[in-house]
Amino acid sequence: MTFPVLSRSVEDYLKAVYSLNERGKAAGTNELARALEIQPASVSGMIRRLAEDGLLQHEPYRGVRLTRQGHREALKVLRRHRIIEAFLVQRLGYPWDDVHEEAERLEHAASDTLIDRMADALGNPTTDPHGAPIPTRSGRIDHPPGRSLDEVPPGTRVLVRSVPDGNRERLRYCKSVGLVPGARVTVADVDADGDCVAVAIGAGTDPVWIEGTVAQRVTVSESPRP
Ligand SMILES: [Zn+2]
């Protein structure tokens, strides 16, 4: 069954629900309003509409989650977004902190054919420039086993898999300290409130403090000893 073409705002809602669910967070009216930077009052109406269209379903006490159809549509938007980012970096020489806004716009306009050809031209990459997994054209997404940086106990050496892509300043900061996909870092310390993490990036370097809001969204996996 083909689904009617979804509007830009519908796609943004589905992506926002996906991203909250993915991080194990409730997708309630307030969380969605914050993620989409709009008023909670306008979120309620849209949630109702998307539920009627079979894209979302209500989850008691946890807001909404995607139906199978909603999940499929969200992955299509994510695929377009991440392929576009990869293409801009690899083929057009964009810096990695400069591609998210372009991808936010183009993801709603590019056809699946264009995206598949861009993916072919890149050799079908499995991750975007920020390390996020790219859904396949058949709609599968592989999340390698891992956890967020803020959950790692001090003394543990880990491999950085992905960093959050939404904020330019944050990406520049990550790059300036070497917190990039593929980097091997050792968690040196976690502050008393548990919301900042000190990591040593590279051998013999002084630890740098990473804000909790960033650490929560950096995914890492176990790193074998060198
Ligand atoms: Zn992005």
Q: What's the pLDDT tens digit per position in 118-138?
A: 999 999 999 999 999 999 999
Domains contained in the chain, CATH given? 8-66 (1.10.10.10), 147-222 (2.30.30.90)
Query: Average pLDDT, stretch 32-54?
Result: 91
Bridge pairing between strands 147-148 and 219-222:
antiparallel
Sort 92 into a burial class: Cβ within 10 Å, 0-12 / 13-18 / 19+: exposed
pLDDT tens-digit readout, 181-202: 999 999 998 887 767 899 999 7
Residue 23 Cα, ligand 1 centroid: separation in angstroms? 16
pTM of this prediction?
Answer: 0.89
Confidence of residue 2 (pLDDT cuts 50, 70, 90): very low
Residue 103 Cα, ligand 1 centroid: separation in angstroms? 6
Question: Which of 77-86, 159-168, 187-196, 211-220 has the largest mean confidence?
Answer: 77-86
pLDDT above 80 for 96:
yes
Residue 66 Cα, ligand 1 centroid: separation in angstroms? 20
User: Are the beta carbons of 210 and 218 closer than 8 angstroms?
Assistant: yes
Category of 47 on φ-ψ map: left (φ > 0), alpha (ψ -120 to 50) or beta: alpha
Between 26 and 21, the higher pLDDT residue: 21
Residue 85 Cα, ligand 1 centroid: separation in angstroms? 7
Residue 225 Cα, ligand 1 centroid: separation in angstroms? 31
Neighbours of 132 (CB within 10 A): 22
155 vs 14: CA distance, rounded Å? 38
Residue 83 Cα, ligand 1 centroid: separation in angstroms? 10
pLDDT over 90, % of the chain? 69
Q: In this structure, what is the dihedral angle of CA atoms 105, 111, 113, 114, given to the nearest 10 degrees?
A: -30
